[in-house]
C-alpha cells in the first residue's frame, strides 16, 4: 500500500538569508529603487516591467517576507512602501568584511611602501 507523504516546507531562512535572497534578483532591486522615491501600487510597480501583475506580486511577496517592503493601509489600492531597516541590518553584516579588507589593504600599502623605500 502506497501512502502519500506530506511535503514539508523548508525551514524559514534566517533574516539575513531572506534579505540577501530578496536582493539577489535584479527585478526586486529595481522595485526597491522605485520605492525609494515614494509608495506605489502594484499596478504602478508593474508598469516598467515586461511581466504580468501576478509575477510582480510574487516578487513583492519575497520582498515583504524579507521585511523590505510593507503594505499600505488602503486595501483598495494595495500601495507598497520601502522599509529600509533590513538594509541597515545587511549593511552592518557587510561592514564587518569591509573592515577586514581595509586592514589588509592598509598592510599591503605599508608593505609596498617599505619595499620601495628599501630600493
| Residue 85 confidence (pLDDT) | 94
| Residue 118 confidence (pLDDT) | 82
CA nearest to 25, candidates 75, 54, 66? 66
**Interatomic CA distance for residues 85 and 48, integer angstroms:** 26
pTM, to two decimals = 0.74
The three state secondary structure string of 60-106 is HHHHHHCCCEEECCCCCCCCEEECCHHHHHHHHHHHHHHHHHHHHHH
| Residue 78 confidence (pLDDT) | 79
| Residue 2 confidence (pLDDT) | 53
User: Cβ–Cβ contacts within 10 Å for residue 77, how many?
Assistant: 14
The pLDDT tens digits of the residues spanning 23-36 come to 999 999 999 999 99
59 CB-near residues (< 8 Å, 6+ apart): 25, 27, 28, 31
Instruction: Give the range among 3-7, 11-15, 31-35, 44-48 with minimum mean pLDDT.
Output: 3-7
What are the structural domains of the chain? 15-118 (1.10.10.10)
CA angle 70–21–100, rounded 5-degree value: 110
Instruction: Provide the β-strand partners of residue 80.
Output: 40, 71
1 has a pLDDT exceeding 50? yes
The pLDDT tens digits of the residues spanning 59-106 come to 999 999 999 999 987 666 779 999 999 999 999 999 999 989 999 999
Amino acid at each position: 500500500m502506497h501512502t502519500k507523504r506530506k511535503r514539508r516546507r523548508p525551514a524559514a531562512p534566517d533574516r539575513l538569508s531572506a534579505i540577501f535572497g530578496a536582493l539577489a534578483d535584479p527585478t526586486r532591486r529595481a522595485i526597491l529603487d522605485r520605492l525609494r522615491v515614494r509608495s506605489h501600487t502594484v499596478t504602478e510597480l508593474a508598469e516598467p516591467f515586461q511581466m504580468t501583475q501576478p509575477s510582480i506580486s510574487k516578487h513583492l511577496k519575497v520582498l515583504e517576507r524579507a521585511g523590505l517592503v510593507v503594505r499600505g493601509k488602503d486595501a483598495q489600492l494595495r500601495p507598497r512602501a520601502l522599509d529600509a531597516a533590513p538594509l541597515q541590518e545587511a549593511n552592518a553584516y557587510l561592514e564587518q568584511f569591509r573592515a577586514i579588507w581595509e586592514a589588509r589593504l592598509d598592510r599591503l600599502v605599508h608593505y609596498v611602501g617599505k619595499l620601495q623605500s628599501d630600493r
